[in-house]
Amino acid sequence: MTHIDDRINEWLLDAHAMEEQAESLLSGQAHRIESYPELERRMNQHLEETRSQRKRLEACIERRGASRSATKDVIGKFTAIMQNMSGLFAGDEVVKGVLASYAFEHMEIASYRILIAACETAGDHETKSVLEEICREEEQMAQWLSDAMPEITRSHLTRSEADLSEAKR
């Protein structure tokens, strides 16, 4: 086993931990966005994709014979910060959730691009093509969030304005 293969195994385990965090981030948000049905639908779709990504990664880890004992906690801490952040700003959870999700997707994209380059270097084309497939799903999710962001923001602001004038009456 070469140094490069060790690194790839380690990074695959990091990606696996990241997808577990993505699962809890997405399922934690689902109940807070009922008033935004398109966002809710897309988040639930990505939750399903994320579960499937985790399984595809598990198959890569198994095929490469990489142990799961070395999983690190770095990504988990990052997500905890993101989740706490949305709690700090009462009332705009939807907007903060979109912000956190968009940032998270880009961390995923970077992780997979790095892994893809590493697999290319090592000549592991089977793992590389799985990672490219997963990376495309992350890119599509990031693009969807980017496109939806202005409308979600407008909708949130209009909604809270209406709630305020309702409360004053």
**Judged by CB, which is closer to Mg ion: 75, or 156?**
75
**Judged by CB, which is closer to Mg ion: 29, or 53?**
53
For 108-162, the DSSP string reads HHHHHHHHHHHHHHHT-HHHHHHHHHHHHHHHHHHHHHHHHHHHHHHHHHHHHHH
- Alpha-carbon span 95 to 81, nearest angstrom: 16
**Opening angle at CA 21, ends 9 and 125, nearest 5:** 30
**Judged by CB, which is closer to Fe ion: 101, or 127?**
101
Q: Are 114 and 11 in contact (CB under 8 A)?
A: yes
- Angle, nearest 10°, between helix axes 3-30 and 74-88? 20
Which among Mg ion, Fe ion, none contacts residue 53 (Cβ within 5 to 8 A by kind)?
Answer: Mg ion
Closest approach, Cβ 108 to Fe ion, in A, equals: 5
- Phi and psi at 85, nearest 5°, equal -55, -40
Alpha carbons within 13 A on the beta-carbon side of 130: 18
Closest approach, Cβ 105 to Fe ion, in A, equals: 5
Among 21, 53, 86, 111, binds Mg ion (CB under 5 A): 53
**Judged by CB, which is closer to Fe ion: 14, or 108?**
108
Does 79 interact with Mg ion (rule: CB under 5 A)?
no
Q: Are 166 and 42 in contact (CB under 8 A)?
A: no
Which range in 59-67, 74-82, 107-115, 125-133 contacts Mg ion by CB under 5 A?
A: 107-115
Does 21 interact with Mg ion (rule: CB under 5 A)?
no
**Judged by CB, which is closer to Mg ion: 17, or 118?**
17
Which residues sit at the interface with Fe ion, rule CB under 5 A? 108, 138
Does 101 interact with Mg ion (rule: CB under 5 A)?
no
Closest approach, Cβ 121 to Fe ion, in A, equals: 24
Residues that bind Mg ion (CB under 5 A): 22, 50, 53, 108
